[in-house]
Homo-oligomer: A and B are copies of this chain.
Amino acid sequence: MDIAKRFPENPIIKPEDVKPSRKDFIVECVFNPGVFKYKDKIGLLCRVAERTKQKKGILSVPILENNKVKIIEINLRDPELEYNDVRKFRYKGKGYLTTLSHLRIAWSKDGRNFTVEEKPAICGEGEYETFGVEDCRVNIVEGRYLLTYTAVSENGVCVGLIETENFKDFKRLGIIFPPHNKDCVIFPEKIKGKYYALHRPTGLLLGGNFIWMSSSSDLIHWGNHRCIAKTRENMWDCERIGVNGPPIKTEKGYLILYHGADYNSRYCIGAMLLDPEDPSRVISRTQHPIMEPTEDYEKEGFFGNVVFNNGHIVEGDRLILYYGAADKYICGAEISISEIFDSLGI
């Protein structure tokens, strides 16, 4: 059952609210923000997906080469173009994305009205981000702001780590999970002397899109990889699952919101409770989504039928989600933590 109370002003950030990073770019999507509090404000580290203005009969996409934008143009009738998904295509045997994403900060004092910064905060940099940076989580780990994000390039889709103290200067700490991996969050504190992360590697014939847990002493080197949750047949989360925002410490354990998609790529949000002593143990998992795409702005957009949050603000029993809708907008919703526990049967 959908227990989310959506903001009446949704969507709260739309592509037209975001200034393109270049004159020849169009902002197609602003979505899936990392969420944080900094000083007296709420900040969203938004994923901004841009593309070049399209000419008739031509597919035109930007990539980065030596940290500079390069435009690739392909005739839509080129027999070597395989283009069946609005988000991606293959050309001459190689994969590409249709948009180039960067991360941009939006600030708010009331959590409802946001001002989007004029310029990107984090753009793709170096050889692991030539196709951009996506879907950032802002993890607060022992007081440090650690950003886990998807680094996309011809090398594959990996998890990168960035540290910041002020959301102005960003220090890259490298690739912490090799391809194909994304949807990584870090627990807010050490558990029995180790840091823990959740992430989403992808299997090929064997395995799937499951949630894994790993541990680390230094946040850079990760090991003890274990699969803690799988997709469930004939359910709303049968095709892929991955963690949404950072784990929420509660009296009952670590509360996790996660995304589940079915074979139609309909993305809903569910919840799990992890054992606080051994977070690889799932105490409970919701049978049904706690939020599903129901509104027009969730059902239709760049890639429809998607609700997907990368973060949240906790205020007592209120969990405020800033979520991506239809891979195009940022929206807000509130969920009661005690109602999530009800859905978890605990």
Q: Chain A residues in contact with chain B, CB under 8 A?
A: 88, 90, 93, 95-97, 127-128, 131, 152-158, 174-181, 199, 201-208, 210, 212, 214-218, 220-227, 230, 233
Contact = CB atoms under 8 A, between A and B. Distances in A.
Given A95-B207, A153-B207, 4 more contacts: A97-B206, A155-B207, A175-B224, A216-B223
A210 B175 contact: no
Interface of A is mostly: strand
A202 B201 contact: no
A202 B179 contact: yes
16 contacts: A88-B205, A131-B206, A153-B207, A156-B210, A157-B206, A174-B223, A174-B225, A177-B178, A177-B225, A179-B206, A179-B207, A180-B201, A180-B203, A202-B204, A221-B222, A221-B224
Number of copies: 2
Contacts of A224: 174-175, 220-221
A157 B205 CA distance: 9
A163 to B, nearest CB: 14
A156 B90 CA distance: 25
Contacts of A178: 177, 181, 199, 201, 212, 214, 225
A187 to B, nearest CB: 16
Nearest to A233: B93
A179 B211 CA distance: 11
A157 B204 contact: yes
A211 to B, nearest CB: 11
Contacts of A90: 205
A215 B230 CA distance: 29
Contacts of A203: 95, 155-157, 179-180
A154 B206 CA distance: 6
A215 B179 CA distance: 16
A262 to B, nearest CB: 13
A131 B203 CA distance: 14
A130 to B, nearest CB: 10
Contacts of A225: 158, 174-178
A111 to B, nearest CB: 35
A206 B225 CA distance: 23
